Amino acid sequence: MPQKKILVIDADVASRNFIARRLQEQHFDVLQTGSGKEGLIFTWRDHPDLVIVDPTLADLKGEEIAAKLRNDTRTANLPLIALSSDPATVRSRSCLEAGFNDYILKSGDAVSLLNDAISRLFGFSGEVMKQGGLTIIFLSAKGGTGTSSVCANLAMNIAHQQPDARLAVVDMVLPVGSIASIVGYEGSQNIVTMAGLLPSVVTPEFLRDKLPEIKNWHFSLLAGSPDPELSNQLNVERVWDIIKVLKESYDYVLVDVGRSLSRITLPLIQHADLTALLISTDASTISLTKTLWDYLAKKGVKPASVFAILNRAMGLEGLSKAEAESILGIDINVTIPYLGTNFAFANSHHLPFTIKFPNDTASIILQETAKEIAVLAHKARTP
């Protein structure tokens, strides 16, 4: 594997040299500068794999550097770490909002935290995501669009149509997951408990043995947090490692993030084989979805990697498919008709819709949609 190149931008010479030495001890190729403007030039000229910035620079604030790099297609997805001497919460928030992946305070733990962040960011890359099982993300801009129900039902249909394929569903909706209640899982294994295990424990063999396979649904489930209090204990730094190992274990990994767009889920969306974007027909949801899509496009997500699903979960009222497409500026791939109480009825019995109502038109749509997203995900992986 080629040696990774890291750029350190820090006006404090002693601090900069200290970090550079620690990185060189780990066999990274290190570039240095004390100027924000030079840092931008070095980044665009020398193409580092990761940039570490002290945001308290004299010539350019770290937030300005992050914004410029994020708004340039060459560096939109470049991993950025703020290694800061500013302990203010408002500063860490502004840096993360500007585009930094992590904010680490200069302290006695800084080197350890920096090493963990670098390992995670290098371990979770586009290259890694294009290895192993296909990754399909389920995302919405607003609650109430039926994202979890659609995710579970499409996962079941993919698994049913491809009986030799191994399929896992991951519920990353925070603070409380919803797929467990849909499929009837009441066990103790979930994303929080899994993230609390040592990396050496969570192996492909461990996941294949410990993840429950849900009866009637034909997939293995990594359930979401069962309550908000437990979600506060989630070791977010382990999420990427778990996804990586899942991809080594399964042919398909479907991840329900709901409307939980964050620094945890954004890299998943950016590097997924396909993102299923759930849309409702009411004007407020369409408006929020437009804002979400504009943001994702700025982050490098291509329209070809998005599969838009118009789900009339709330009823027959609302905008038409053509009106929604006109506002969003992307094509809607499929429309799921209003199902009345049938979807809720199937969920309450913990049964896939296509088993509970096999002759319903929506069952046919779900079956065809499952085929289509599987084909598109495979196509996205093909060079």
Q: In this predicted structure, what is the pLDDT of residue 266?
A: 82
Q: Are 78 and 153 found together in one domain?
A: no
Provide the domain limits for residue 354.
131-381
Q: Are 25 and 86 found together in one domain?
A: yes
Instruction: Point out the domain boundary residue: 63, 97, 123.
Output: 123
CATH for 246: 3.40.50.300
Q: Are 286 and 161 found together in one domain?
A: yes
Residues 6+ apart with CB under 8 A from 262: none
Q: Are 184 and 91 found together in one domain?
A: no
Q: Are 209 and 357 found together in one domain?
A: yes
The residues that bridge with 219 in the sheet, in sequence order, are: 214
CATH for 98: 3.40.50.2300
Q: Are 89 and 233 found together in one domain?
A: no
Q: Are 146 and 118 found together in one domain?
A: no
| β-strands 219-222, 213-214 pairing | antiparallel
Q: Are 205 and 111 found together in one domain?
A: no
CA distances from 203 to 136, 197, 247, 252, 332 (A): 21, 11, 11, 17, 38
The structural domain count of the chain equals 2
Q: Are 173 and 101 found together in one domain?
A: no
CA distances from 180 to 221, 223, 267 (A): 8, 6, 24
DSSP-derived 3-state class of residue 31: strand
Q: Are 79 and 158 found together in one domain?
A: no
Q: Please check the confidence at residue 184 and state whether its pLDDT lies above 80.
A: yes
Instruction: Point out the domain boundary residue: 123, 155, 173.
Output: 123
Q: Are 167 and 281 found together in one domain?
A: yes
Model confidence at 77, pLDDT cuts 50, 70, 90, reads: confident
pLDDT (tens digit, 9 = 90+) per residue, 86-114?
999 899 989 999 999 889 999 988 888 89
Q: Are 94 and 222 found together in one domain?
A: no
Question: pTM of this prediction?
Answer: 0.73
